[in-house]
Amino acid sequence: MSSELAYRPATPDDLAACERIWVVGINDYLRPMNLPAVPDDNPGLRRLHAHTLATDPERFWVAARGDRVVAFGSAVERGRLWFLSMLFVEPAEQGGGVGRELLRRMLPRPLDGRVLGTATDSAQPVSNALYASLGIGPQLPLFDLIGRPRPDRPLPALPGDVRAVPLALGGGPELDALDRELLGFEHPQDHAFLHDPDRRAFGYRDGGGRLVGYGYASVAGGIGPIAVRDRSLMAPVVGHLLRTVEPRGASTVWLSGAQGEALAASLAAGLRIDGFPLLLCWSRPFADFERYLPISPGLP
Ligand SMILES: CC(C)(COP(=O)(O)OP(=O)(O)OC[C@H]1O[C@@H](n2cnc3c(N)ncnc32)[C@H](O)[C@@H]1OP(=O)(O)O)[C@@H](O)C(=O)NCCC(=O)NCCS
C-alpha cells in the first residue's frame, strides 16, 4: 500500500468517493453470486449521504491513503437510537481491521443507554459477524417487494371509517407524536429530507379526524416510511399507496417479517420478492415494527 491510512471526519467533497466505494463494495460480493450489479449512478444514495452528513457530521467518517478515500462509515442519532447507515471498505482494503476501526470511531462513547441498530445484507457474513460481535445482532428480515399490484387481486381497502388525505410534505406535530409512540423518538429532520417533488405524503384519519397513520410514496417507485396506530392498518395503507401513487416504473417496498399481513397481501397482489432479505439488527428492541416501516434500510 502506498501511504499510511488516516481516519478523519468526512466533508461534502468526499461524497463522490463514498458513492464509488459503495458501488465497488457491493458489486464485489454480488458478482460471485451471479446477482445483478448496482448501477454506477445512484442519485438517491447521494441524497441520503448529503442528508446524514448534514444532520450527523460527527458520525460520518472516512479512511484515506493520501488523497484517496478507501473506506467510509456513517451513522445517525435519533433520540436514544444510534443507527449505522453505511459502512463500506474498498475490496483491496477489506479484512484488515479498517471497518472495525471506523466503527470504533463512530460509536457513541459512553453508550449512555443508547440502542445500537443497523440493517445488513443477509448474504454478507462479514458485516453480520462484525456488528453481532458488538452486540448489534440480526433480529428481523426485510424483504424488497417489487412490481405493481394486479387490478384483479387488490390489496385490502382502507376501513370504511378511515379516509386518506394528502399531507403537506415536511412533517409536523401530529407526525412527530406518532413517531414518538412507535419509534420512541421524533425525527422532523428526516420528514424534511423526504420533501422532494417526486414524493406524495398521506395522512389517514378516523371519523373523529384523529391521525391514525401516515405514509409516503414516490413516483420514482419507493414506498415508505409508513406509520400506523393499529397494526391492522399496515396492509390497507400499503395498498392505498400502491394504488394511488402511480410510479414511472415498478413500485418497491421493504416489508419486514413483522408485517405478515402486508407481506401476504402484497404477494397475493402479484408483487415479487427481489433478492436476499436484509436483516434489521439491534442491541435492544427500540421500535414497533408491526406498525412502522422505515424510510429506507439506511435511515430509520
Ligand atoms: C463489511 C465491511 C465494511 C467490513 O470491513 P472490513 O475492514 O472488511 O472488516 P474488518 O477487517 O474490520 O472486520 C471484519 C471482522 O469480521 C470477522 N469475520 C469475517 N468473516 C467472518 C465470518 N464469516 N464469521 C465470523 N467472523 C467473520 C473478521 O474476523 C473480523 O473480526 P476481527 O476484527 O475480530 O478479526 C467490508 O468488508 C465491506 O465493505 N464489505 C462489502 C460491503 C458491505 O457488505 N458493507 C456492509 C453493508 S451492511
Each residue's pLDDT tens digit, 170-211 = 889 999 999 999 999 999 999 999 999 999 999 999 999 999
Find out whether 277 and 122 touch, Cβ atoms under 8 Å: yes
The C-alpha cell at 168 is: 403537506
For β-strands 81-89 and 115-121, DSSP reports them as parallel
Q: Which residue has the higher pLDDT, 82 or 35?
A: 82
Distance in Å, CA 269 to ligand 1 centroid: 38
In percent, how much of the chain has pLDDT > 70?
A: 99
pLDDT for residue 171:
86
Measured N-to-C along each axis, helices 125-133 and 98-106 cross at an angle, to the nearest 10 degrees, of: 40
pLDDT for residue 169:
86
Q: Set out the domains of the chain in order of their start, with CATH numbers.
A: 5-113 (3.40.630.30), 145-276 (3.40.630.30)
Find out whether 22 and 79 touch, Cβ atoms under 8 Å: no
For β-strands 199-205 and 211-218, DSSP reports them as antiparallel
Distance in Å, CA 124 to ligand 1 centroid: 9
Query: pTM of this prediction?
Result: 0.97
Tell me the per-residue pLDDT of 23-44, one tens digit each, with 9 for 90 and over: 999 999 999 999 999 999 999 9
Identify which of 126, 136, 279, 282 to mutate to test ligand 1's pocket (most ligand atoms within 8 A of the CB): 126
Find out whether 252 and 144 touch, Cβ atoms under 8 Å: yes
Residue 142 in contact with ligand 1 by CB distance below 6 A: no
Find out whether 90 and 24 touch, Cβ atoms under 8 Å: yes
Residue 43 in contact with ligand 1 by CB distance below 6 A: no
Mean pLDDT over 275-294 rounds to 97
CA distance 167 to 204: 9
Distance in Å, CA 95 to ligand 1 centroid: 6
Lowest-confidence pick of 30-34, 138-142, 215-219: 30-34
Lowest-confidence pick of 11-20, 34-43, 130-139, 253-262: 34-43
Report whether pLDDT(157) > 90: yes
CA atoms within 13 A on the CB side of 66: 4
Residue 120 in contact with ligand 1 by CB distance below 6 A: yes
CA distance 139 to 294: 15
CA distance 237 to 211: 13
Distance in Å, CA 98 to ligand 1 centroid: 9
Report whether pLDDT(1) > 90: no
